[in-house]
Amino acid sequence: MDILLVDDSRTMRLIVQRAIRQAGYRALTVSEAENGAQALEKLRDERPRLILSDWNMPEMSGLDFLKEVRAAQNDVPFGFITSEVSAPMKALAMSSGATFLICKPFTPEDLQVALTPILGGN
């Protein structure tokens, strides 16, 4: 698995998967989880190169998920894709160990800019 994609919305998971391909990363394998708790289960067995997560999710928020990941000494790059991005929220995310935030709506180019430093050129 290259990317672990965490979002409660099936629609948004499909949109992000499509954007990843449109950004040129067609060969990457993407695994999905519907919330942070389910994603933590997946991280027990797999080590993705990148986590892309929604912020606002049931069961476990994206921020709580990030904190759990870092508490487990996992330093995997972690990006949020969220509909709400304020300065305080961005500061909180970054201080908690996030690598980047992408605000919805977003384009494949936005995703490419964020992914290239982590995954390399496509």
Q: Which residues bind to another protein, rule: CB under 8 A?
A: 8-12, 14-15, 18, 56, 58, 82-88, 103-107
Structure tokens at 6: 């965490």
Tell me whether residue 7 or residue 115 sits nearer to another protein (CB atom). Answer: 7
Q: Are 61 and 15 in contact (CB under 8 A)?
A: no
Residue 26 or residue 44: which is nearer to another protein going by CB? 26
In the complex, the smallest distance separating the C-beta of residue 51 from another protein, rounded to whole angstroms, is 20
Closer to another protein at the Cβ: 8 or 68?
8
Query: Which two structure tokens, joined as six digits, stand for 65?
Result: 């998920």
What's the token pair of residue 70?
């870092």
Single out the residue of 82, 101, 83, 81 nearest to residue 91, CA to CA: 101
Q: How far is the CB of 21 from another protein (least distance, A)?
A: 10
